[in-house]
Amino acid sequence: MNQLIEQLKVQIIQQLNLEDVEPQEINEDEVLFGGDLGLDSIDALELIVLLEREYGIKIKNQEEGKEVFVSVRTIAEFIDQNS
**Residue at 8: amino acid letter:** L
Radius of gyration in angstroms for the set of CA atoms belonging to the chain, rounded to a whole number: 11
Size of the site for another protein (CB under 8 A): 19
Helix (H, G, I), strand (E, B) or coil at 81: helix
**Residue at 35: amino acid letter:** G
Q: With CB under 8 A as the contact rule, which of the stretches 1-9, 15-23, 24-32, 66-74 interacts with another protein?
A: 15-23
**Least distance from C-beta 13 to another protein, angstroms?**
10
51 touches another protein by CB under 8 A: no
Q: Which residues pair with 75 in a beta bridge?
A: none
Per CB under 8 A, residues contacting another protein are 16-20, 38, 40-43, 45-46, 48-49, 52-53, 60-62
